[in-house]
Amino acid sequence: MGRKGLFTWAMLLLTGGGLVGMQLGSRATSDDAYESLKKLEDAFLVITQRYVEDVDVGDLTENAIEGMLSNLDPHSVYIDAERMKRVAEDFNASFEGIGISYELIPGDSGDTIAVLNPLPGGPSEEAGLYAGDRIIQIDGSPAIGFSSEEVQSNLKGPRGTSVTVTVHRPGFRDDLDFTIIRDKIPIVTLDAAYMLDDDTGYIKLNRFARTTYSEFREAMKTLMDDGMERLVLDLRGNAGGYMDMAVRVADEFLSAGETIVSAKGRFPDTNEKYVARAGGLFEHQPVIVLVDENSASASEIVAGALQDHDRALLVGRRTFGKGLVQKQYQLNDGSSLRVTISRYYTPSGRLIQTPYGSGDRSDYYADKSEQYRADATSSLDEIIANTPDSLLYKTSSGRTVIGGGGVLPDYLVYADTLSHLMQQVVGRRLHSMFVRQVLDNNGTEIRDAWIEDRYGFVDGFEISDDVMTKFEAFAGEANMIFADDVSHYDGDSSVVAFSYAELEADRDILEILIKGQIASRLYDRSMWYPVYRPLDKVLTESMNLWVKAEELAFNDTGAR
């Protein structure tokens, strides 16, 4: 994994409290620490004043900081001032701008900004922008060839300021101008909330930011009004966030006095214990929690607490295994140090942190990958049997759970492997690019027919034979060829060839992916999930496990 990728992982896997920073130097400094600090200062002055060439003191300082952190744990990281702005937006769950999601479409003259969705209720939707619009000018200046950074710097801005965008709308002869008043734009952390059937609600959280609990609670109330009697909470791919948000979400499922999580550090003020309060929204109903290898940090706090108290059935794959709590310390230039201050433990006493030697992130993530491969060839009982006794713990009812490297689900489910054909389609994003063409040509017709009936779209919209024929032609332009006999393409490295039989075998999958992309662009990202549901093996198998989930919820007495 490259340096940038490692940084992104480390940045996302946060469980610390606030992003407000703390004043440094509040603890007494030992003589040894002072002497070491003086040594570091002397070395810095020698290098900057006597080295044969000019030295960039900023780079030197940042490299020194990263060097110190590299000897700690994989989650203690340095965040420079520019990255810190983006991190703050992500975890504060808002920014100020025009409110669109977009993609950059490659072209001969440079990339074009294409609107994926105007965010619901945002200034772009109010101004009249549509999904599929191409932004070609911003305030009268060409916007072709912009990088993502340039898009952000030109479209984001202080609330109340205006920006005029000129768009080309497919199917319209003349370009259109829209003056948009920038506003505060929320970043939604709840991807989807809908009813799977008459009794079962589904909530998907993508991270734990400042607004997560309020989003979650509002969605829960809506689903309960719709008749929800049991819940699937999807934490797959949720890399974490604020510990207090995870605690508040978990609290809605647990009874008063039950421990949610505890933290223990080197200093007394880093030791904390969080206990559930009375009055949770869903303290007695059956719950299934979906997790995978990208569920980390705050996600693991929720999953671990519900598993340890036998409050939910966990389904999926072993979680990432991050049991460290970070605190953010702001430096004088707007950059920050995110430093591990404690370890957290689930209610049964488990430390679920994956073992690490030092801050060597490449070895750390390589070890995680090896663990995932080993899990995939083992049953749940085999994994538990091969776990040292020191890492075995008991839930409230006496079930065995493990620590020392993630939260192991109660039922392991692995996704089906995509065929070579579908790996090529998904890897090249052909389904996504094809949908752009579909909406360019037929977007008005589809919008007029379905925009007011989003859930009717899930069951009623079908991918026609004509659309699939057009996909074949589109794929051919991208050098993916379909034929009855592909043997004469052997040795031709310029194309990848598949038989019509292979295409027919994967047709159902391809149709769902195309339909899901249309739904995401026609409505919003949340509509991907009900459309994609037939392909979601983990969710499908979890729906067969409600008897066990109900046993956990009701025990033998019919109530907790």
pLDDT mean across residues, the chain = 88
End-to-end CA separation in angstroms for the chain? 46
pLDDT for position 12:
33
Tokens standing for residue 180: 């948009």
1-93+188-414+548-560 has CATH 3.40.50.720 classification: no
Nearest partner of 337 among 85, 65, 60, judged by Cα: 65
Tokens standing for residue 189: 């952390």
Whether pLDDT at 25 is above 60: no
Sign of CA dihedral 496, 497, 500, 501: negative
How do residues 443-478 score in pLDDT, each as one tens digit?
999 999 999 999 899 999 999 999 999 999 999 999
What does pTM read for this prediction? Answer: 0.84
Query: b/e for 475-513, b at 16 or more Cβ within 10 A?
Result: beebebbbeeebeeeeeeeeebbbeeebbeebeebbbbb
Average pLDDT over residues 390-418: 94
Q: Are strands 94-97 and 183-186 parallel, antiparallel or unpaired?
A: antiparallel
Q: Strand, helix or coil at 67?
A: helix
H or E element at residue 52:
none
pLDDT for position 538:
97
Select from 3.30.420.40, 3.90.1150.10, 2.60.40.1510, 2.30.42.10 the CATH code of 94-186. Answer: 2.30.42.10
What CA–CA distance (Å, rounded) separates 185 from 182? 9
Half-sphere exposure of 14 (CA within 13 A, CB side): 27
The percent of residues in the chain predicted with pLDDT above 90, rounded, is 64
Task: List all residues 6 or more positions away from 515 whose beta carbon is below 8 Å from its beta carbon.
Answer: 461, 463, 531
Catalytic positions: 297, 308, 322
Stretch(es) of the chain classified as CATH 3.90.226.10? 1-93+188-414+548-560
Average pLDDT over residues 279-298: 95
Nearest partner of 319 among 348, 345, 353, 346, judged by Cα: 353
Stretch(es) of the chain classified as CATH 2.30.42.10? 94-186
Half-sphere exposure of 335 (CA within 13 A, CB side): 12
Identify which has the larger pLDDT, 97 or 22: 97
Whether pLDDT at 113 is above 90: yes
Q: Confidence class of residue 437 from pLDDT cuts 50, 70 and 90? A: very high
pLDDT for position 492:
81
Identify which has the larger pLDDT, 557 or 170: 170
pLDDT for position 46:
94
